[in-house]
Amino acid sequence: MKKTILAIATIVTLTIGNSFAQRYEHHAPAAKSARVDNAYEEMKINKLDEIVKLSRKQENQIKKIENKYDRLASPNRRYHTYQGMKRLEEEKQREILSVLTPVQRQRLFAYQHRYETRYNRRG
C-alpha cells in the first residue's frame, strides 16, 4: 500500500513539473506590448539622432526598418533561436548603417569607440 501511494505521488509530482515546464514561453521584454516596443524604438532613434544628427527622412527610414524587422521576428519561428535572432539583428544594423552618411557613420563609430574604451578597461 505504501509503495502504491509513493508511486502515485511520484507520478503526480513529475507530471505537474513537466506541465509547468512546457507552459513557459520566452518573449523579449520589449515585445510584449506594441506601445512599449514603439517607445523603446523611439528612445533608440532619439539617442542615435543626438549622436549623428539624423534628418527627418533618415528617421522615417530607420523607423520603417525597425518595423520591418519587428514583423519578421514575431511570427517566424526560425528566428526564435539565438543564431536566428543574432543574424536578424545584424541584418537590421547593416540596413540602419546604410541609411547613414559616411560622416554620420564616423561619428557613430567614434562614439561607440569612446564608450567601449571607457567601460571595458581592465584593472
Full 3-state SS string of 29-78: HHHCCHHHHHHHHHHHHHHHHHHHCCCHHHHHHHHHHHHHHHHHHCCCHH
Q: Which three cell numbers stand for residue 14?
A: 513529475
Per-residue confidence (pLDDT) for residue 91, from 0 to 100: 92
Higher pLDDT among residues 92 and 73, named by residue: 92
Max CA pair span of the chain:
80
pLDDT per residue over 77-86, tens digit each?
666 778 888 8
pTM of model > 0.85 = no
**Mean pLDDT (the chain, rounded):** 77
Higher pLDDT among residues 120 and 10, named by residue: 10
For the chain, what are the domain ranges?
A: 33-119
Q: Which three cell numbers stand for residue 43?
A: 528612445
pLDDT greater than 70 at residue 5? yes
Give the whole-number percent of the chain exceeding pLDDT 90.
Answer: 20
Per-residue confidence (pLDDT) for residue 56, from 0 to 100: 92
